[in-house]
């Protein structure tokens, strides 16, 4: 393998182990059933993932975890394989566990880390990330309106969030809110609050959506929601810096090396990689289904996979998948070498989303009429990929970010 730090023997073992888990627990029938019947992966599945050791990995042993993975690529392989078997499950894990541990590991004070990380390690707690508002997700600095005002020992939150994945199952809702009315810069106005989901004044409404049904998103309404001051995560007015990678400056105290690295990468940069793996999973799954079908379906006395145009589609799918995987893993290799990887993280998001789009659309072509029925899984890939194109950042905005990093004038 070309990636820095790659250990073929160990990582093949990891891949085999997670594939076996997926073959047993995320069968095609079960995944289809989930898409039709649930709005979040079941507690039973969550427990199986905990027993597998997924949730403990990466959490330090002193906080109840199993410590860092043996090889830093391990989490990527686990995520890629789970997303290939069931993208909704991986999205649920990313929202409920990934965001939660990200917030607490990077920003939590010692008390919060002692309280929450052991629960995360056992899969006993869920969080999410409540950032986007109805005013718009792309211009997030310009559109955030939710406020948190100090009142005695509390902050009082008022406002609204939209599209928040997994909020309906979260125990705590990390919420971005304005704490500085007249900031020198808009980026110096936000703080993050760990809002208990059962706080009076907080209501959650599920939003029906086109795809990834087994991991719902929600609207959240904050009406005089009172949270204790000690539920402020990290430093006041530094929430935006955390989002984009402000490093140790956003967390209290002396952040350890891993914490600082995590915070420096920024929640959104990490999210870009995680989303790329979701896209890669959809692309791989659509490709596998299309390849299988092309070898079985007969037209003019031959398998359709013998026709040149179908081969072109399949080869282009394979190229796009390989490209996406190389960019994602290469981005991690760069960061492991301590080199800048922000541009590559944005590019990974775009290339992987486009791979999922190409594979789902051409997969539909290859299946012909059957692709359009609800009896084949291609329609699910076709519905699911769309979320990857605009969340967590739209491809258009990711292009804007790359353009600026390449030294082009800001277009917005
Ligand atoms: C299913 C789902 C799950 C989500 N989960 C979460 C979550 O868990 N937590 C969370 O906080 N958010 C979440 N989001 C929100 C997501 O991050 C936003 O939808 C995304 O950032 C886009 O924002 P928007 O939908 O408001 O589109 P808008 O910002 O309104 O953009 C609309 C269109 O205009 C384009 N556009 C805007 N500005 C520019 C520009 N300067 N240049 C070029 N084009 C531009 C966009 O690219 C897009 O095509 C989720 C969204 C969805 C749909």
For residues 271 and 163, give the distance between their C-alpha atoms in angstroms, rounded to a whole number: 16
Averaged over 91-108, what is the pLDDT?
95
159 φ/ψ sector (left φ>0, alpha ψ -120 to 50, else beta): left
Q: Residue 244's pLDDT band (boundaries 50, 70, 90)?
A: confident
**Which of 110-114, 191-195, 210-214, 242-246 bottoms out in mean pLDDT, i.e. has the lowest?**
242-246
Report the sign of the C-alpha dihedral through residues 227, 58, 77, 337, in that order. positive
Domains of the chain from N-terminus onward: 8-121 (1.10.540.10), 140-253 (2.40.110.10), 267-405 (1.20.140.10)
pLDDT tier at 249 (50, 70, 90 boundaries)?
Answer: very low
At 154-168, the pLDDT tens digits run 999 999 999 999 999
Q: What is the pTM of this model?
A: 0.95
- What value does the mean pLDDT take over residues 352-360? 98
Is 12 or 272 the better-scoring residue by pLDDT?
12
Q: How far is CA 326 from CA 221, 380, 395, in A?
A: 41, 25, 19
Task: Determine which residue's CA is closest to atom 37 belonging to ligand 1.
Answer: 138
pLDDT band at 243 (very low <50, low <70, confident <90, very high): confident
Distance from the alpha carbon of residue 314 to the mean position of ligand 1, in angstroms: 31
Residue 400's contacts (CB-CB under 8 Å, 6 or more residues apart) are 410, 411, 412
Confirm if 333 and 4 have CB atoms less than 8 A apart: yes
Mapping DSSP to helix (H, G, I), strand (E, B) and coil, where does residue 102 land? Answer: helix
Percent of the chain with pLDDT over 70: 94
User: Which atom number of ligand 1 is nearest to the Cα of residue 130?
Assistant: 11
At residue 391 the predicted structure's pLDDT band, cuts being 50, 70 and 90, is confident
> For a pocket test of ligand 1, which of 168, 216, 394 has the largest count of ligand atoms closer than 8 A to its C-beta?
394
pLDDT of residue 262: 52
Q: Which atom of ligand 1 is nearest to the CA of 139?
A: 29
Q: Which atom of ligand 1 is nearest to the CA of 167?
A: 8
Q: Measured between alpha carbons, how far is 129 from 170 in angstroms, rounded to an integer?
A: 10
Copy the structure tokens of residue 189: 């106005």
How many angstroms is it from 375 CA to the middle of ligand 1?
31
Q: Which of 137, 195, 395 to mutate to test the pocket of ligand 1 (most atoms within 8 A of CB)?
A: 137
Residue 382 pLDDT level (bands cut at 50, 70, 90): very high
Contacts of 29 (CB under 8 A, 6+ apart): none
Ligand 1 centre from 395 Cα, in Å?
9
Distance 126 CA to ligand 1 centre (A): 23
Contact 384, 378 (CB under 8 A): no
Phi, psi torsion values for 351, nearest 5 degrees: -65, -40
Tokens of 132: 């986007």
272, pLDDT greater than 60:
yes
The residues that bridge with 176 in the sheet, in sequence order, are: 192
User: Cis link prior to 392 (omega < 30° from 0)?
Assistant: yes
Question: For ligand 1, what atom is nearest to the CA of residue 129?
Answer: 9
Quote the CA–CA distance of 347 and 237 in Å, as a whole number: 30
**Pocket of ligand 1 from Cβ distances under 6 Å:** 95, 128-132, 136-138, 163-165, 209, 217, 387, 390-394, 396-397, 400, 412
Continuous segment of H or E residues that includes residue 65 = none
Angle at 290 between CA 287 and CA 295, to 5 degrees: 125
Q: How much is the mean pLDDT over the chain?
A: 93
Percent of the chain with pLDDT over 90: 87
Using the mean position of ligand 1's atoms as its centre, give its distance from the Cα of residue 96 in Å: 20
| Residue located nearest, by CA, to atom 11 of ligand 1 | 131
In order, the DSSP letters of 251-294 are SSS---HHHHHHHHH-HHHHHHHHHHHHHHHHHHHHHHHHHHHH
| Distance in Å, CA 392 to ligand 1 centroid | 7
389 CA → ligand 1 middle, Å: 10
Q: Which residues contact 33 (CB under 8 A, 6 or more apart)?
A: none
Residue 250 has pLDDT above 80, yes or no: no
Instruction: For residue 132, report the distance from its CA to the centre of ligand 1, in Å.
Output: 8
d(CA 263, CA 253): 13
CA distances from 369 to 240, 303, 374 (A): 48, 16, 11
**Residue range 215-241: average pLDDT?**
96
Question: Dihedral sign, CA of 389, 289, 327, 406?
Answer: negative
Instruction: Name which residue sits closest to atom 35 of ligand 1, judged by CA.
Output: 396
Angle at 122 between CA 80 and CA 86, to 5 degrees: 25
CA of 398 to the centre of ligand 1 (A): 11
Atom number in ligand 1 closest to CA 161: 11
User: Which of ligand 1's atoms lies nearest the C-alpha of 134?
Assistant: 26
């Amino acid at each position: 393998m070309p990636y820095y730090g790659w250990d073929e023997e160990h990582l093949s073992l990891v891949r085999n182990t997670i594939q076996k888990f997926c073959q047993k627990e995320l069968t095609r029938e079960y995944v289809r059933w989930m898409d039709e019947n649930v709005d979040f992966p079941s507690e039973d599945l969550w427990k199986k993932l905990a027993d597998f050791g997924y949730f403990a990995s990466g959490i330090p042993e002193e906080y109840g975890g199993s410590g860092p993975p043996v090889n830093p690529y391990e989490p990527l392989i686990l995520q890629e394989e789970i997303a290939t078997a069931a993208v909704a499950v991986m999205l649920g894990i990313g929202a409920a566990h990934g965001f939660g541990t990200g917030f607490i590991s990077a920003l939590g004070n010692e008390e919060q880390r002692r309280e929450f990380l052991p629960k995360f390690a056992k899969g006993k707690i869920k969080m999410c990330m409540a950032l986007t508002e109805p005013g718009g997700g792309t211009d997030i600095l310009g559109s955030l309106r939710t406020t948190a005002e100090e009142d005695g020992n509390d902050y009082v939150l008022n406002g609204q969030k939209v599209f928040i994945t997994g909020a309906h199952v979260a125990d705590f809702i990390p919420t971005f809110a304005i704490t500085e009315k007249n900031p020198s810069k808009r980026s110096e106005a936000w703080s993050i609050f760990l809002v208990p989901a059962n706080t009076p004044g907080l209501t959650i409404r599920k939003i029906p959506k086109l795809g990834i049904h087994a991991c719902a998103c929600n609207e959240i309404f904050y009406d005089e929601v009172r949270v204790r001051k000690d539920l402020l995560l990290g430093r006041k007015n530094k929430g935006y810096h955390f989002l984009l990678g402000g490093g140790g400056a956003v967390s209290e105290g002396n952040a350890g090396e891993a914490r600082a690295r995590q915070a420096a990468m920024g929640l959104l940069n990490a999210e870009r990689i995680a989303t790329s793996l979701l896209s890669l999973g959809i692309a791989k799954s659509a490709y596998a289904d299309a390849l299988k079908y092309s070898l079985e379906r007969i037209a003019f006395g031959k398998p359709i996979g013998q026709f040149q145009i179908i081969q072109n589609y399949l080869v282009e799918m394979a190229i796009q998948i390989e490209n996406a995987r190389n960019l994602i893993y290469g981005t991690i290799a760069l960061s492991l070498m301590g080199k800048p990887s922000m541009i590559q993280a944005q590019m990974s998001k775009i290339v992987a989303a486009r791979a999922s789009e190409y594979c789902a659309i051409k997969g539909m072509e290859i299946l012909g009429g059957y692709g359009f029925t609800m009896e084949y899984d291609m329609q699910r890939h076709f519905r699911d990929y769309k979320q990857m194109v605009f969340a967590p950042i739209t491809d258009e905005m990711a292009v804007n970010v790359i353009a600026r990093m390449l030294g082009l004038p800001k277009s917005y």
